[in-house]
Amino acid sequence: MTEKKYLDSKPELEGILNEKLKDDRFLILHNDDVHTFEYVIEALVKVCEMEHVQAEQCTYLVHYKGKCDIKKGDFDYLKPYKQALIDKELEATID
């Protein structure tokens, strides 16, 4: 009987998980060809609370690939981080 209930509720659980995945967005940092590596690294450490090495890796990805996703979450969670990066004159979007 328990196994049957699990099987019956599986589509419901999948629906809940799919809704949650729809809510997940990415904070994207874009290359601007203006700021130095050190400036961007320090901004990521302060604003996004990254370790220095992780911030360096993100900065190199932004430089060579044009952008890098730096945080994941729902829009309301990411919005203050985006604004803080913009306040530091960095280009950031939530996708």
pTM equals 0.76
Q: At residue 51, what are phi and psi to the nearest 5 degrees? A: -70, 155
* pLDDT score at 9: 53
The range of the structural domain enclosing residue 37 comes to 24-94
Reported as a single tens digit per residue, the pLDDT across 18-49 is: 555 567 999 999 999 899 999 999 999 999 99
Using the predicted structure, report yes or no on whether residue 55 has a pLDDT greater than 80. Answer: yes
Strand order of the β-sheet with 67-73 is 67-73, 25-30, 91-94
* pLDDT score at 65: 97
Reported as a single tens digit per residue, the pLDDT across 74-94 is: 999 999 999 999 999 999 999
Here the CATH number for the domain that contains residue 61 is: 3.30.1390.10
DSSP 8-state class, residue 53: H
Q: Is residue 14, in this structure, part of any structural domain at all?
A: no
Q: What domain count does the chain have? A: 1
Other Cβ atoms less than 10 A from the Cβ of 47: the count is: 21
Q: At residue 31, what are phi and psi to the nearest 5 degrees? A: -70, 140
